[in-house]
Structures are given as C-alpha cells and as structure tokens.
C-alpha cells in the first residue's frame, strides 16, 4: 500500500515540477500507476455508494415509522368508540400504498420524459421491475452513485403511502371502510404519482422552474386537497355543529396523540434528510437543522395563536403546530436558511390555528386537523420558497401550487362523488352513534373488565 501511494505521489510530483510523465516513469510504470489510480477511484466510488445507500435506507425506515405516528395521532384525537376502525385504516394504508406504487405509481411518477410534459409511463421500467429484476441498476452509475434502484423505489413508495394517510385522519369516524380503501387505491396509485411526475419526474412544472424539495405541495398539500374534498362530500359528524356552536368531541387518548406527533417529528428527519438523496454531510446536516428549527417554531406558533384565540393552553394546537412547522419547511429545507426556517415554522404554527377555526366556521369537520396542517401549511411552505430563496420565483411557486391543487382536489372530489352516487360513502347514523369498532370490527380499542 505504501509503495503504491509513493508511486502515485512521485508521479504527481514529477508532473507538477514541469517534467513530462515519460521523463519520470517508464511506459510500463505509467500504465501500472494509472491502473492503481483507477482501482482506487472505483473503490472510493463504491464506498460512497454504500454510505449513501445506507443513509437512504435509514431514511426510508424513518419515513415508514411515520405511519405509526399518523396512526397514533388519529387514534388519539379520535373518539374511543372508533379506535379499532382508525387503526385498521392506518394499517391498510401503507399496505395499499406500497403495492399500488409498485404496480403503477413508480412508473407514472418517474416516466423518463423525453420532452417535459404532463403524462407518461415508463413501460420499460415496469417490464424490468416485474420481469427481469436482475437488470436493475445497483451500480455507481445509477443516480450519480447516490443509491440503488431498489432503494429509490422503496423510499418513494413510503412517500406515496403518506399522501393517503393524510386523508384518513380528516374523514375519520363516519366514512365507510370500503369507500376509503377504494379511494386510497385510485388516489395513491394514479393521482399522486401523476402530480409528482410534473416536478420530481422531470415533467412540465419542473421545466417551469417550480421547486418542492421534499413535498410540501407534492405530498402534503396533495393529501390535504384530497382530505378537503372528502370532508366536503361526507359532511360533518353527527352533533359536531349545533345551533351555530362547535361541539367538542374528546379524543380517546391525549398521551397517544403526543407519542404520535413525536414519532412524526422523528420520521421527518428521514422525510427531509433522505430527500437530499445522498449522505452528503454538509447538505444533510443543514436540512436536518432547518427541519428541526421549523418544527420547534411551529409548536411555539401554535401555542401563542391558540392562547390568544381560545384563552387557554391548548396542547392539541401545539401538537398540530409542530406538524405545521414540519410541513411548512419541507418544500425549502435545503434552500431556506436557519433564521428564515424559524420564521416559516412560526407562521405555519399560527396559520394552522387560524385555518382550523375557519374550517369550523364553514362546518367542515376535520377530526385531526389534517387540512389545516397539510394543505394550508403545505401551500404556505411552497410559497415561502419563492419568498425566502433568491434562486426561486414566487410566480413559479404559485403556479405549481395552483396546478397541483386543481388536479388533486378535482380528482379526489370526483372519486368521492362517484362512490357516493353508486354505493354511498357514509356509515349509517346508528353505526356512527354507537361507534364503528363494534359494528365493523366486532371489538373495541379500549376494554376494561373487572373480575
């Protein structure tokens, strides 16, 4: 090893002193040296691939654990009589999301546009994925050595399932399980990846200069628009709005909701940190810092806004403020500096409270505040990139928000409306009053038996 390094060093010294290579080494030794250099470079490239790929897999696991966080938040904020139903949906959501993404979503989202456009499908990739998986690129040639083909799929599949989980919390406690599952298949399998392809797949919005680092719009507001369409068509829970007043429906477990939020905060380090798409130490650590600062500021914003509006120390709004800050910074975690990340998070925390109050004024019943967290703050975070980053245009951000929003909302509205017309999407009044656990699952989430 030392002989090899000396040979490389002597060669470099000979070149830097002005002598030609041939005057320093013989032709044979030059060839030997270049071979060593090439081998050494290949070893470095492979080492980088391994480290990058390991980080991407860790990030994938962190995003996966977010589904447990979503389940905890929804079950905690939901009524005890619907706990099993909520957990059932949150268990099936990643199952459906991963499978539909494998069947179609991945190849719709990354179609390999020859010319930036609005719709394409990677049929060659689909054939390789299912027919000849041994042909997948797991070398340093894929993604500039950032990760392998299979890691790419798995990381993106976790994102896809997240978009449907957002809808689950908003429509909880009164939607038919079958209707929710059908919606998830269509929305995650088709709508979400098509919208994602417009930016991340190299489509038309990417060509326009629209920027969304990790998905404030492409994941969160897309899910938020789906949630808004759902609660409009479903209507509010029975007894939620009476004589112009909002009737509180206490959740089953505040501790479970808190655990869920902190699991989501943890998972977001993978959500945003993994979106660097490599283990680049400088950029990854920067993204993790802006992400964490925005989350903390969001919690503070929720606390302050709720205190001024409700005159109480509202834990629920602090929790949603944390999530609001995380959603808000997701679009620009790599381009917004730390001080401005705090501003983004703080404003998001305030907005989530204002949004929740506004929805109640319009009798739009959102069990967990998903629309306020993911839609309102997803829009804010995407626009914030155009405000706080000199390299990105506010106009292009606004266009991207509008185009993605129109597609997501209209698609979700049509899906829900057609199902409502065909078979209905809402459970019976009796089932809603008595709880979905007993009627649809035959068990309850919380059972205390005294012998």
pLDDT of residue 1: 41
User: What is the reported pLDDT for 143?
Assistant: 76
Cα–Cα distance for residue pair 269/272, rounded to 1 Å: 6
CA dihedral 20, 25, 26, 32 (to 10 degrees): -120
Residue of 106, 86, 219, 221 lying closest to 163 (CA atoms): 219
CB 342 within 8 A of CB 294: yes
pLDDT at 43: 54
pTM: 0.89
* Cβ pair 159, 274 in contact under 8 A: no
Torsion, CA 190, CA 193, CA 196, CA 198, rounded to 10: -60
In tens digits, the chain (451 residues) has pLDDT values of 434 444 434 443 344 444 444 444 444 565 555 554 455 445 555 666 688 899 999 999 999 999 999 999 999 999 999 999 999 999 999 999 999 999 999 999 999 887 789 999 999 899 989 988 877 877 767 877 678 899 999 999 999 988 889 999 999 999 999 999 999 999 999 999 999 999 999 999 999 999 999 999 999 999 999 999 999 999 999 999 999 899 999 999 999 999 999 999 999 999 999 999 999 999 999 999 999 999 999 999 999 999 999 999 999 999 999 999 999 999 999 999 999 999 999 999 999 999 999 999 999 999 999 999 999 999 999 999 999 998 999 999 999 999 999 999 999 999 999 999 999 999 999 999 999 998 889 888 987 667 6
Q: Which pLDDT belongs to residue 46?
A: 61
Contact yes or no for 213/332 (Cβ under 8 A):
yes
Looking at the DSSP assignment, which residues form a beta bridge with residue 426?
175
Give every CB contact of residue 214 below 8 A, 6+ residues apart in sequence: 271, 272, 275, 330, 331, 333
Q: Sign (positive/negative) of CA torsion 394, 395, 398, 400?
A: negative
DSSP structure string for 224-292:
HHHHHHHHHHH-PPTTSEETTEEPP---S-HHHHHHHHHHHHHHHHHHHHGGG-S--HHHHHHHHHHHH
pLDDT of residue 147: 83
Residue 265 has a CB neighbour count (10 Å cut-off) of 21
Alpha carbon separation from 260 to 60, 171, 213, 273, 285 (Å, rounded): 18, 18, 24, 20, 24
Which conformational region is residue 243 in: left (phi greater than 0), alpha (psi within -120 to 50 degrees), or beta?
Answer: left
DSSP state of 175: B
Tally of CA atoms within 13 A in the half-sphere of 250 that contains its CB = 4
Cα–Cα distance measured from residue 213 to residue 199, given in angstroms and rounded to the nearest whole number: 10
> Rounded to whole angstroms, how far apart are CA atoms 400 and 206?
9
Q: Which domains does the chain have, with CATH numbers?
A: 2-41 (no CATH), 56-441 (1.10.3430.10)
Q: What is the pLDDT of residue 16?
A: 42
Look up residue 421 and give its two tokens: 């017309």
pLDDT of residue 32: 55
Query: What pLDDT is recorded for position 48?
Result: 67
SS3 273: helix
Nearest CA to 349 out of 390, 307, 383 is that of 307
Q: Which two tokens stand for residue 444?
A: 């309850």
The predicted pLDDT at position 61 comes to 96
């Amino acid at each position: 090893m030392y002989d090899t390094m000396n040979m490389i060093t002597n060669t470099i010294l000979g070149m830097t002193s002005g002598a030609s290579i041939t005057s320093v080494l013989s032709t044979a030794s030059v060839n030997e040296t270049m071979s060593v250099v090439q081998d050494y470079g290949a070893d470095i490239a492979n080492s980088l691939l391994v480290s990058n790929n390991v980080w991407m897999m860790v990030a994938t696991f962190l995003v996966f654990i977010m589904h447990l966080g979503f389940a905890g938040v929804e079950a905690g904020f939901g009524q005890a009589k619907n706990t099993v139903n909520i957990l059932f949906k949150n268990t099936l959501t990643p199952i459906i999301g991963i499978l539909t993404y494998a069947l179609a979503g991945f190849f719709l989202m990354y179609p390999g546009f020859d010319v930036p456009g609005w719709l394409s499908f990677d049929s060659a990739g689909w054939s390789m994925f299912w027919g000849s998986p041994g042909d997948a690129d797991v070398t340093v040639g894929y993604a500039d050595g950032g990760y392998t083909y299979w890691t790419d799929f798995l990381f993106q599949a976790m994102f896809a399932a997240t978009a449907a989980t957002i809808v689950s919390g908003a429509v909880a406690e009164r939607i038919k399980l079958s209707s929710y599952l059908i919606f998830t298949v269509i929305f995650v399998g088709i709508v979400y990846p098509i919208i994602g392809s417009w930016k991340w797949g190299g489509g038309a919005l990417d060509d326009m200069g629209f920027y969304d680092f990790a998905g404030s719009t492409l994941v969160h507001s897309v899910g938020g628009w789906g949630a808004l369409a759902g609660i409009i068509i479903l209507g509010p829970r029975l007894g939620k709005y009476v004589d112009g007043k909002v009737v509180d429906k206490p959740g089953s477990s505040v501790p479970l909701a808190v655990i869920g939020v902190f699991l989501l905060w943890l998972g977001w380090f993978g959500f945003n940190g993994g979106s660097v798409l490599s283990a680049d130490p400088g950029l990854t650590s920067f993204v993790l810092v802006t992400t964490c600062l925005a989350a903390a500021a969001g919690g503070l914003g929720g606390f302050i806004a709720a205190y001024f509006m409700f005159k109480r120390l509202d834990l629920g709004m602090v929790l949603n403020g944390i999530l609001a800050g995380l959603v808000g910074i997701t679009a620009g975690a790599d381009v917004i500096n730390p001080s401005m990340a705090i501003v983004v998070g703080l404003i998001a925390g305030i907005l989530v409270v204002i949004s929740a109050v506004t929805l109640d004024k319009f009798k739009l019943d959102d069990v967990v505040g998903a629309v306020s967290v993911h839609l309102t703050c997803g829009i804010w975070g995407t626009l914030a990139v155009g405000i706080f980053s000199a390299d990105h245009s506010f106009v292009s951000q606004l266009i991207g928000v509008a185009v993605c929003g129109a597609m997501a909302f209209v698609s979700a509205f049509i899906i829900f409306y057609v199902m409502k017309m065909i078979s209905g999407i809402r459970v019976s009044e009796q089932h809603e009053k008595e709880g979905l656990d007993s009627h649809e699952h035959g068990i309850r989430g919380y059972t205390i038996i005294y012998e």
